[in-house]
Amino acid sequence: PVPAYFNDSQRQATKDAGTISGLQVLRIINEPTAAAIAYGLDKKGVGERNVLIFDLGGGTFDVSILTIEDGIFEVKSTAGDTHLGGEDFDNRMVTHFVQEFKRKYKKDLTSNKRALRRLRTSCERAKRTLSSSTQASIEIDSLFEGIDFYTSITRARFEELNADLFRSTMEPVEKSIRDAKMDKAQIHDIVLVGGSTRIPKVQKLLQDFFNGKELNKSI
């Protein structure tokens, strides 16, 4: 099986995020095979199915391609980035607001660990909000030297801040397809796993890459 780099707090956070967004969280999965089984892809039709699992968690990113035939799973390829995930998207937002705070108040938040921690928590929340809304507000009382920090960020700005990171998720997708000696047209099912796959831009990039194909995202 493909290694799962999830620790328990990440797994719990993913479950919580799933519950918050109204998804029924049945189980958080470690392995691509489990993901495919959870979707009942082993029961779908006759003949061979090629499934791409796109797993973008808090700190890691895995892409796997499996072939399913008669209930037998075979992993054809895996690719990914062990240092890419939701935390990186949070970091970009934190940096954005640190700069805004410096512009507005001529003060450097990075000198204060607690202020940074509070800002990061707000950014994580804002990121989740932006998966369902086009704008999110940040409201932190007495963030630094008694200054209340009230501001907001749009989904479009969040996407701009992370544009290169979001785009970089497509490289392992291409690589896994190449390594499996397939063409993208041969992928029957695409399964999304991990909290960060709820980000609309990530879904759109993936869907565009597969020419508008539906994504399985009910986990």
- Tens of pLDDT, residue by residue over 95-109, are 999 999 999 999 999
**Residue located via tokens 């796993």:** 193
What's the burial of 127, exposed, middle or buried (CB within 10 Å: 0-12/13-18/19+)? buried
Q: What CATH superfamily classification does 86-161 receive?
A: ATPase, substrate binding domain, subdomain 4 (3.90.640.10)
Mean pLDDT in order along the chain per 10 residues (219 residues): 46 52 44 70 76 90 90 87 94 98 98 98 97 98 98 98 98 97 95 93 96 81
Give the sheet arrangement for strand 189-193, strand by strand.
72-81, 61-69, 49-56, 189-193
DSSP strand pairing (189-193 vs 147-154): unpaired
Strand partners, 19: none
Given this model, what pLDDT does residue 58 score? 84
Residue 16 confidence (pLDDT)? 55
* pLDDT at 36 (0 to 100): 72
SS (H, E, C) 145-181: CCEEEEEEEEHHHHHHHCHHHHHHCHHHHHHHHHHCC
What predicted TM-score, i.e. pTM, was given to this entire model?
0.81
Can you read off the two tokens belonging to residue 140? 């932190």
What is the chain's length? 219
Same fold, 8-84+169-209 and 86-161: no
Q: Tell which CATH classification among 3.30.390.30, 1.10.260.40, 3.30.420.40, 1.10.10.10 matches the domain 8-84+169-209.
A: 3.30.420.40
Tens digits of per-residue pLDDT, 7-26?
A: 555 555 555 555 445 444 44
* pLDDT of amino acid 119: 98
Q: Where are the domains of the chain?
A: 8-84+169-209, 86-161
Question: Taking a C-beta distance cutoff of 8 angstroms, is the pair 194, 31 a contact?
Answer: no
Which pLDDT belongs to residue 34? 72
Q: What is the CA radius of gyration of the chain?
A: 19
